[in-house]
Amino acid sequence: MNYLTAGESHGPQLTGIIEGIPAGLTIDVDEVNAMLAARQGGYGRGNRQKIEHDTVQFVGGLRHGKTLGSPIAMVVNNRDHAHWSQIMDPTSPETAENTLRKVERPRPGHADLVGGMKYNHRDLRNVLERSSARETAMRVVVGAVCKQLLNQLDIQIVGFVDTIGNQPADTAKNLTVSEIEEAITQNDLRITDQNKVDEIHDLIDETKKEGNTLGGIVKVVATNVPAGLGSYISWDTKLDAKIAAAVVGVNAFKGVEFGDGFKAAMSKGSDVMDEIDWHEGQGFDRLTDHLGGFEGGMTNGMPIIVRGAMKPIPTLYKPLQSVDVETKEVKKASVERSDTTAIVPASIVIESVVAIELAKAITDTFDGSNIERLQRQIADYRQEIENF
């Protein structure tokens, strides 16, 4: 299974293609659109979200609501393109009028300058339009399809906010995925600690007044994942490594950990290794989950726990120092429309990319041609593992 996205932030549309989804999977388009809507929500979002009302259109690979096994093609239109139609026209020749929004002062922390240097773009809009987090809308669509596949295999997954700025907001200790989902729908921060909502609202409001931005940490929990996905035989077959790459591949993410993660590095071995147990009719188990569901690059049957660290958004309304790429004069960086924090929608994006990697691992391991055959193979494999 693989996927590809295309499109620019203010271009006509975002386009995605998924290859390798089993035939016969019923796609609930409303659920996909609900995830898109959730990605646009959350306290601290900017005005762009008032313009876009993202919905997906499936234009290939489905018939009568079911997947065909062929590549699935999807489109999300950019409504804001109406205000940028001349500037972002894909085919019209360049003129003085359609380059009025030229960007020549790169933003620190963004892809602007390095992307311009690499691809020799003098107008850095050619960089920022693709490097924008707007692209993640299509990754959420792909993730939503993969999440529906996982649900058909009795695998549950949820992403939520662990920390905003310096404020921890997760009390989801030993909660099920359903309980986490219930808790995070009670507020506009996707946090499990309801007592933190007002405090974090105040932090975001204060940061916005300063013209500044906030990052944070998101957490993803996936349960009932079969043991043995991934492999220890080569570095590029380790599933936790693939998930780590997918997380850091999301805009602004600078770190990832599994289970106790960096805390484990400061602990003794006896405190972080998950002791093994066995029960009749259930098979092998672990007494704890400090390692986040992975051993040797493979799932071990325990809940997968992933955390990703997101830096603050680099577009500041009180811009930092930059240098004009043409004149080489020291100036303030360009300002594009931005959020105070995007940590809330980021939790949905990270949930999506983890779901994609789990779906990839399953279709790599089993026959993913047809959903019913895949379900039978997974059921047989679970039984084999239980009897080991």
CA distances from 214 to 164, 206, 254, 309 (A): 7, 11, 14, 12
- pLDDT above 70: percentage of residues in the chain: 98
Q: What is the pLDDT of residue 99?
A: 84
Quick one: which of 88, 79, 26 has its CA closest to 53?
A: 79
Q: Dihedral of CA 18/19/22/23: which sign?
A: positive
- Pairing between strand 156-164 and 167-168? antiparallel
Q: What is the pLDDT of residue 47?
A: 58
Q: What is the pLDDT of residue 51?
A: 59
**Which residues of the chain fall below pLDDT 50?**
none
Q: What is the pLDDT of residue 96?
A: 85
Q: What is the pLDDT of residue 32?
A: 98
Residue 55: burial class (beta carbons within 10 Å; 0-12, 13-18, 19+): middle
Q: What is the pLDDT of residue 85?
A: 92
Task: Convert the pLDDT of each residue in 301-348 to its tens digit.
Answer: 999 999 999 999 888 888 899 999 999 999 999 887 778 999 999 999
Phi–psi pair at 126, nearest 5 degrees: -65, -20
Residue 39: burial class (beta carbons within 10 Å; 0-12, 13-18, 19+): buried
Helix H segments across the chain?
A: 29-39, 48-51, 112-119, 125-131, 136-152, 177-184, 197-209, 239-248, 262-265, 269-272, 343-365, 371-386
Task: Convert the pLDDT of each residue in 240-293 to its tens digit.
Answer: 999 999 999 999 999 999 999 999 999 999 999 999 999 998 899 999 999 999
Question: Mean pLDDT in the chain?
Answer: 94
Kindly report the CATH number assigned to the domain that includes residue 346. Answer: 3.60.150.10
**Residues 132/9, Cβ–Cβ less than 8 Å:** yes
Please state the domain count of the chain. 1
- The length of the chain in residues reads 388
Separation CA 223–CA 238 (nearest Å): 19
For the chain, helix (H) and strand (E) counts, in that order, are 12, 17
What does the DSSP assignment read for 91-139?
Answer: SSPP-SGGGTT---SPPTTSSHHHHHHHHT-SSTHHHHHHHSGGGHHHH
Q: What is the pLDDT of residue 49?
A: 55
Where in the sequence is the domain holding 240, given as residue range(s)? 2-386
